[in-house]
Structure 1
Amino acid sequence: MKDIRCILKDHLGEVVFVEVPEPGGSVTQGSSFGAVESVKATSDVNSPISGDIVEVNKKLTESPGLINSSPYEEGWMIKLKPSKPSELESLMGPKEYTKFCEEEDAH
């Protein structure tokens, strides 16, 4: 099974810029809240759940490559206070997401 860092690099390439919102706003599930620019393309980032933005990772402004090198530890983008906790039940964990990406790549 491929590591999520390999999947990110395969799909995005090396990340060179990250746009994140300011804390205090809110997002709805599936809506765009920011963007990631890589050497390959610029992509919108959609929220997996609805909620209020309580914290933003300012480290990404100086070190956008953290998304590639440390997606689960230092490369997080925003922290949310869920407004619809039931949406959490539909999320995939790291292993499920990696498997999903591998299956998508096989098609």
Structure 2
Amino acid sequence: MVELKAPLTTLWRGKDAFEEVKTLQGEVFRELETRRTLRFELDGKSYFLKWHKGTSLKEIVKNLISLRMPVLGADREWHAIHRLHELGVDTMHGVGFGEKGVNPLTRTSFIITED
């Protein structure tokens, strides 16, 4: 599943959004084995990318033992942004979301928001 909004709908038309996300370069804020957060520029505007590449069973168990829900992808943040907008809460604007795979250990997902 991929959901894109302007300007990504135009810039990435006919392209694989996951391949485009892989090529984005910018200021890296966090880079782990399974996650990367960076700020990048596109058409003179600044955006944030959060990219999730699966997780490990160890990470899932560690979170559950700590009574925290493990982060398995970008979908919760994408849905939360939409829900906040529905409630009239001023929050970030999501311009791109993608998710592929079913298994949380290998699922890949991304979210792109305006800076």
TM (norm. structure 1) is 0.31
Higher fraction of strand = 2
State which structure, 1 or 2, has the greater radius of gyration over its C-alpha atoms. 2
Higher fraction of helix = 1
